[in-house]
Amino acid sequence: MLKIEHIGIAVKNLTNSIPLYERLLNCQCYKTELVEKEKVNTAFFQTGESKIELLESTDTEGVIAKFINQKGEGVHHLAFAVSDLDAEMKRLREAGFTLINDQPKKGADNKLVCFLHPKNTNGILIELCMEIS
């Protein structure tokens, strides 16, 4: 793994949360994006070499809405950049980790992504992401 690519934070409302994080991080949101397949709106902030991704559900039955209903707003996942997503998925599978998706899928911010099940990672949802070239 190359670095922490971003930290995903589940929020109820981007309209309220973007200005809060702009003040907190002392930087502007550089991108918002709808990821329809995941039923989520995202907003990104660059902080040094890493990013903060805010996640707002577009559906009351979406993964982020369910997360907020169970745990409240807060850290949803930790994402690591990888140079070869297929190889990293194979390595982790062979090391006994459970992958939530069997194949890489298109995520936000021009990335291919895969998630590891939190039951194998001490309760933390881990995302692996690779820049789409």
CATH code assigned at 120: 3.10.180.10
| Predicted local confidence at residue 18, as pLDDT | 98
The residue-averaged pLDDT of 42-63 equals: 96
Whole-prediction pTM: 0.93
Q: Which residues of 72-90 are buried (b: 16+ CB within 10 A; e: fewer)?
A: ebeebbbbbbbeebeebbe
The whole domain housing 103 covers 3-131
Q: What is the mean predicted confidence (pLDDT) over 49-74?
A: 96
Q: For the chain, how many structural domains are there in total?
A: 1
Which residues are bridge partners to 41 per DSSP? 34, 56
Tell me which residue has tokens 């989520």.
Answer: 40
State how far the Cα of 20 lies from the Cα of 54, in Å rounded to an integer: 11
Hunting for tokens 């991080």 — which residue is that?
A: 25
Distance in angstroms (rounded) separating the CA atoms of residues 81 and 32: 20
Q: pLDDT at position 30, please?
A: 97
